[in-house]
Amino acid sequence: MLILLAFWLAPANADEGHDHGDAPATAPATEVLPRFTAVSEDFELVGMLTGQQLTLYLDRTATNEPVREASIELDIGGRVVRASPTPEGAFLVALPQALPEGSTPITATVIVGGTSDLLAGDIDINDSHEDEDGLPHAHRRLIAGWGLGALVLLGVLALLWRRRSRGASRTGGAA
């Protein structure tokens, strides 16, 4: 019973040598980039920050159709910058300096043809993959799982020891 409980509580670990047939190999998990979204009746703007470069994607809200021909101007924490279109349909903004840690307001002025719109959002810059003690969230869960398993195992052992000691005291008094 204890052996089954120990195997049940142990996490499943797989090595890198598993064959997944013809399925393409997946890339290892990477950290999530800081993002913001700003939505209006006409447009949806999504921005992803990589270092000091902000990549913007502009879509029509009603159809989710990408908008490739637009003029986008951003007010990021009081600094106004203009976005440049890319051949892929995105827009790039080179930030003059890194954004500070915490939440930074972003206001976008979008002009497409005869339609102009003002969109607002916030980008949150923080070290979200680690806690205050520096441990990644995945390691915290692993440690918590092993800790819980150890507590359950200690509880089962204590119950077995208690039963055994009661049985010994009953048989010893009969003589």
pLDDT over threshold 70, residue 107: yes
CB-based burial of residue 168 (10 Å sphere; 0-12 exposed, 13-18 middle, 19+ buried)? exposed
Give the pLDDT mean for 111-138: 75
pLDDT tens digits, one per residue of 23-44: 666 655 566 789 999 999 999 9
Q: What is the pLDDT of residues 58-103, one digit of tens each?
A: 999 999 999 999 999 999 988 899 999 999 999 999 988 888 888 9
3-state class of 111 per DSSP? strand
Cβ atoms of 125 and 84 closer than 8 Å? no
Residue 54 has pLDDT above 90, yes or no: yes
Asked if 108 contacts 72 with a C-beta cutoff of 8 angstroms, the reply is yes
Q: Which residues contact 30 (CB under 8 A, 6 or more apart)?
A: none
The CATH classification number of 35-125 equals: 2.60.40.10
- What are the boundaries of each domain within the chain? 35-125, 130-160
Lowest-confidence segment of 46-50, 53-57, 96-100, 164-168 by average pLDDT: 164-168
